[in-house]
Amino acid sequence: MKVLKKMGLEEMRRKSLRHFVKELQNRDDYEIRNISLDCDSCGKEGSVTEIQYKISGDSVWKAAMSMLSECQSCRDQRELAKVMEDDLTHMKEERSSRLMDEYFLIPESLRNAGFKTYREANDVTGFAKRAAMNFTKHFTPGQANNLVFIGSPGTGKSHLCASIARTIKNRELSVGFLTTGTLLTKIKSTWKDGSSKTEEQILRDIRTLDLLILDDIGSESGGQSNSWNKKTLFEIVNAREGRPTVYTTNYTETDLAQIVGERVVSRLYTNSEFIQMFCEDYRKTLQI
């Protein structure tokens, strides 16, 4: 009985191979065997089994089909690594979505702002637009290239920043766009009892963003010096060190240094291109 069972199993294996190996279809003159191979990944001896066949008259044994070249342990580890990678990707996507919800705060008036809708009123605004487009074209996450738009109110600084933000966001990158006043208010809100966030978490979020656009720096103090604002702005700017950031301000460099502090302005100079936009209100010039 045991012999019959063994023969029956052998015949089943032979017939099964004919379904997978084209060369064996419609013929019975072949042998099959199992051989033990070493794992290609860890090198463990005899840990992989391969089914081979040899047609009558041939001297060469051939692999019956494309067999696994790894042992079970290596396959399990590879599968676990894939699951962990998928989980990490999912976590990154969730984090990116959360960051956008909390920090991508473009005003309604700029929701449709783009480079095409930014009209050049003069050479100053024309140069600023080209600088913004060049920054966007060559934008690389993690590359410390910054822009600082500095100039009169109403010259389109925020419009250009919104254009940059929307373009980079469309590349599936995380972008923050908010005024310094809004960001400082977010940080102050962590002081409340029961706050779901700490100041450290907000700074970590700010550091994580692929691009941060901090609009209207200096206006948060109403043009007055404020020690807490200075300290916190320095922490924000410092957190962005080594990561691309765009700043705008209505103040001259001298006035800005008095309002936000020399340390902040000194950090702004690091890896930054300053775009001077002191000119007439372009909305009045274009009668927008």
What CATH number has the domain bearing residue 142?
A: 3.40.50.300
How many domains is the chain built from?
2
Instruction: State whether residue 62 is helix, strand or coil.
Output: strand
pLDDT at residue 7 tops 80: no
288 vs 122: which has the higher pLDDT: 122
What element of type H or E holds 254?
helix 253-260
288 vs 60: which has the higher pLDDT: 60
| Domain membership flag for residue 281 | yes
Same domain, 125 and 43: no
Mean per-residue pLDDT over the chain, rounded: 85
| Domain membership flag for residue 95 | no
Return the pLDDT at 1: 42
Over range 135-139, report the average pLDDT. Answer: 96
Residue pair 279/152 in contact (Cβ under 8 Å)? The answer is yes
Return the pLDDT at 114: 94
| Domain membership flag for residue 243 | yes
Of 70, 87, 120, the last residue of a domain is 70
| Domain membership flag for residue 250 | yes
Return the pLDDT at 18: 78
pLDDT tens-digit series, residues 92-117: 777 778 898 999 999 999 988 999 99
Same domain, 167 and 236: yes
Residue 248 C-beta-side C-alpha neighbours within 13 Å: 26
Distance (Å) of CA 80 to CA 44, 47, 68: 20, 19, 17
Same domain, 27 and 148: no
Same domain, 138 and 209: yes
Same domain, 136 and 260: yes
Distance (Å) of CA 156 to CA 24, 160, 181, 261: 75, 6, 19, 25
| Domain membership flag for residue 66 | yes
- Please state whether the predicted TM-score (pTM) of the whole model is above 0.75: no
Least confident of 64-68, 209-213, 273-277: 64-68
Same domain, 127 and 13: no
Residue pair 89/82 in contact (Cβ under 8 Å)? The answer is no
Over range 179-190, report the average pLDDT. Answer: 94
pLDDT at residue 159 tops 50: yes
Of 70, 93, 128, the last residue of a domain is 70
pLDDT tens-digit series, residues 234-267: 999 999 999 999 999 999 989 999 999 999 999 9
89 vs 217: which has the higher pLDDT: 217
Same domain, 55 and 179: no
Give dist(CA 263, CA 242) in Å, integer: 17
| Domain membership flag for residue 134 | yes
Domain range for residue 63?
2-70
| Domain membership flag for residue 36 | yes
Of 70, 94, 125, the last residue of a domain is 70
Least confident of 6-20, 138-152, 263-277: 6-20
| Domain membership flag for residue 79 | no
pLDDT tens-digit series, residues 17-63: 777 788 888 888 888 787 788 887 787 776 677 788 888 888 888 88
Return the pLDDT at 223: 58
Closest CA to 218 of 270, 277, 149: 149
Same domain, 65 and 115: no
Same domain, 150 and 281: yes
76 vs 3: which has the higher pLDDT: 76
Sheet holding 62-63, edge to edge: 30-37, 48-55, 62-63
211 vs 269: which has the higher pLDDT: 211
Return the pLDDT at 110: 93
Same domain, 61 and 122: no
Give dist(CA 160, CA 187) in Å, integer: 26
